[in-house]
Structure 1
């Protein structure tokens, strides 16, 4: 997957990319987004979010939520991730412009969307018509709701998250981005991020304290 496009000569990058591939190829990957799955015994400090109908608000937060932040118990996760992506690329290990451009050029094939349709295919492999019906009944969803969640929302957001994670790997490594590292932890545990509840990073909020795990397992 990540090594299909070019060779990676730096061992730290290779190790981080191997970690990502291992998570994506594991049978647990995204399985927690479906009813009937099992929660990990060790949640590693994550709080669990289990509301699929409001998942889009948590992970694809509309801008109007910023107008009245006191009305919502969560922060704008896309904005937080955009800020982190910018910090990693422009203020992190390779903050020098020329060095950053050279690194981007060197790893441009990995930095492009090298996942293709992988996430859509993974969701399709896990999804069944019977599960769709169970989801509708369990959460009072319509068939349109379920189609939106599994065919549009989740695959697109997962793809965006892994692009950000790979950026962090190339521009300094996962250890230099606690937010991206915690983001990847959500997927390693079989779920996905379920929002940011707590203080913003600039106000002292940490991913360990504030990033929630969306997982429907029991």
Structure 2
């Protein structure tokens, strides 16, 4: 429902679990017919309906050969319906697993694209020689695209692992000082001239624009302190 806030969406009470549930986009055309909150409750409702119908048949029919035959046929149909519902749920679970694998692949590919767009410098992985040979062989595996993608994913994981362990490029994640353009791991956000524009300055430049005082002094009227920035991906010394 466009223009309706989430807290104002219509709600119903599930006829199976007696818990409230909110309108969803998939129910836009059949909201009036919806009585259960989930597929699980819907299957339970169908099971209860089958059991009540079976009890009704048993109550209405006397214990005769014909009635026993009818009950046998009804039981068979009910079991077939239950098997169908179980198969449907199993298929949905399989689809969930497939979708999860697909999302993992998309996430890995998106991360690789972001790394490439950011033009990160090559990281020193310090990989074992056997690992490098293995990755090289996978990349040249008769031009198999699947093997190439797998090898590239392993390489990206190795790069991220080295970054986390502090074995990557020492300049990874650094930013430049607004004044001297030096790349550092710690910057101070402040204003320092008559334009009153915020900048990120290194420790050396900060001493010049603030006089070494956090809140500034009379000799630096344009200075205002705005916080610190620290490189969270800084590598070990």
Q: Same fold (TM over 0.5)?
A: no
Which one has the bigger helix percentage?
A: 1
Q: Which has the larger radius of gyration?
A: 2
**Normalised by the size of structure 1, how large is the TM-score?**
0.20
- Say which structure, 1 or 2, has more relative contact order (CA 8 Å, 6+ apart): 1
Which one has the bigger strand percentage?
A: 2
